[in-house]
Amino acid sequence: MNRPQIILIGVNHKTAPVEIRERLTLEGDLVQSLALLKSLPEMDEVLFLSTCNRVEILAAAQNGSQALAALMKLWTEKSGLAVSELEKGLYVRKDNEAVAHLFRVASSLDSMVVGEPQILGQLKDAYRSASDTGSTGTVLNRLLHKAFSVAKRVRTETAIASHAVSISYAAVELARKIFGELNGKTAMLVGAGEMAELAAQHLKTHGIKRLIVANRTLERAVQLSKELGGEPIGLDEMDDALIEADIVISSTGAPGTVISGKRIKKIMRPRRHRLLFLIDIAVPRDIEPEVNKIDNVYLYDIDDLKGVVELNKSQREKEAKKAERIVEEEVIKFEQWLESLEIVPVIQKLQKKAENLRQRELDRSMKALKELTPKQKKAIETLTRSIVQKILHDPIITMKNGAKNGCDNKALLESACRLFKLDTVKDEKIAPSKEKRNT
């Protein structure tokens, strides 16, 4: 009747340098590593997560400390690290702590950049490999699915992912605070660069109507327009384009000023003072800083955008606190499920025993009741079944509620086994069908 123990051991970017982390990846291949871990007799279920920032093993075992010792042995052998070296950066989490840790990792609360969604994908891949190779079972299946749904809850219920930290995202966010919806707006790209193109693409996904691509050489402009879906122009046509544009992203490699304050002042009247948002991500800068002093013109250079990004980071940390609360909640729910795992076998035994008794007594009585019509026989069948169900109903409900309310159901279960003379279910594996029932 032991409930399985969950253990998680690993290192991450905070606890161990990359020199240590890279030596803990076991075999070169994930599938091989899993096979190796599964070959340990102490393990029931196992998952191996290896990313550039962390290496972790998650396992479910009947005997946690034995499994832990086996894992440590395997890891020191495979990595060639001394036990003390390994233990320095290693964290060991058991049961609830392990569950909480996994939930935090999945929700990107333990990441280098908090809120970055990449880790969830990596964890899903790790789980897929593990479940494909049959390394996971009832407990880890449930645990991982729960981790994914916790991650989803955190993403939707907190703003942790919305304060994105990239420069191009910050640019779009600002544009939306200036213009509201971006549909129908015109953007202009001056010069080319990876970051500028990224920002342009970002703007496009937010509904920009037109994209003008200006370049020193028209040839390059034409080529870029094809890639991004824009209209190419030469630098000499830029004045007209500036009148039409709402958002300008400049990133030329020019050593001096490309857009002067005078030039912008001149175009504001023909623009009818429409708001203009200029983003200068070139170093050295393309746009004169004085431009920001002109009414209805907003100029952000690369450092200003970095400032926005920093601000978002601090807001993220606030949201992370909310996320931690969600994790705590979900850990408790998972714990309840784990406890209910011990109960299910007992209930099944109880039902099976009752059903066997009913069947036997019914068969015996039926011999004396041969004259009954099939309809009457059926009625007696139903009668016996419902008596059994009614009698068992309360004990089963009590056991189930015991797990939910977190009271000492171990004693309760033992009493149930003794009262009904059930065999202990200690060495029995949990049937896989229960997984479905509980999810």
Partner 1 sequence: MYDLLFQITLFLYIGATVGFVMHVVTLKKGVRKVAFAILGTAFSLHTILLLLRWLAAGHTPLVNLHESLSFFSWSVAAFFMLFQWKERVRALGAFVIPLATFGMLGAAFYSRKVAPLPPALQSWWLPVHATICLVAYGVFTLAFAIAIMYVIQERQIKKKRLGAFFKRLPSLQTLDRMGQLCLKIGFPLLTLGIITGSLWADSAWGSYWSWDPKETWSLITWLLYAALLHQRLAVGWRGRRAAYMTIIAFGVLLFTFLGVNFVLPGLHSYSTWYE
Any idea what the Cα angle at residue 350 is, between residues 386 and 387, rounded to 5°? 15
Shortest distance (Å) from residue 273 CB to partner 1? 5
Sheet architecture: strand order including 54-61: 45-50, 54-61, 5-12, 91-94
Q: Which is nearer to partner 1, 44 or 246 (CB)?
A: 246
Q: Which is nearer to partner 1, 36 or 243 (CB)?
A: 243
Closest CA to 320 of 112, 170, 159: 159
Q: What distance in Å separates the CA atoms of residue 307 and residue 427, rounded to the nearest whole number?
A: 60
SS3 42: coil
Q: Which is nearer to partner 1, 75 or 300 (CB)?
A: 300
Q: Which is nearer to partner 1, 31 or 178 (CB)?
A: 178
Q: Which is nearer to partner 1, 134 or 270 (CB)?
A: 270
Residue with tokens 């009247």: 269
Active site residue 407: no
Q: Which residues bind partner 1 (CB under 8 A)?
A: 174, 176-180, 271-275, 292, 295-296, 298, 300, 304, 307-308, 311
Q: What distance in Å separates the CA atoms of residue 263 and residue 251, rounded to the nearest whole number?
A: 18
Helix axes 118-132, 138-157, angle to 10 degrees: 160
Shortest distance (Å) from residue 120 CB to partner 1? 25
**DSSP H or E run through 105:** helix 95-106
Shortest distance (Å) from residue 194 CB to partner 1? 24
Q: Which is nearer to partner 1, 273 or 410 (CB)?
A: 273
Q: How far is CA 99 from CA 33, 61, 106, 119, 356, in A?
A: 22, 14, 11, 16, 39
Which among 22, 39, 52, 376 is annotated as catalytic? Answer: 52
Shortest distance (Å) from residue 257 CB to partner 1? 20
Q: How far is CA 414 from CA 171, 380, 408, 422, in A?
A: 63, 33, 11, 10
**DSSP assignment string, 149-199:** HHHHHHHHHSSTTTS---HHHHHHHHHHHHHSS-TT-EEEEES--HHHHHH
Residue with tokens 């601000």: 311
Shortest distance (Å) from residue 164 CB to partner 1? 13
Closest CA to 191 of 228, 230, 235: 235
Q: Which is nearer to partner 1, 181 or 363 (CB)?
A: 181
| Token pair in block for residue 311 | 């601000």
Are 277 and 175 a contacting pair, CB within 8 Å?
yes
Shortest distance (Å) from residue 181 CB to partner 1? 8
Shortest distance (Å) from residue 185 CB to partner 1? 9
Residue with tokens 């550039």: 52
Indicate which residues carry an active-site annotation: 52
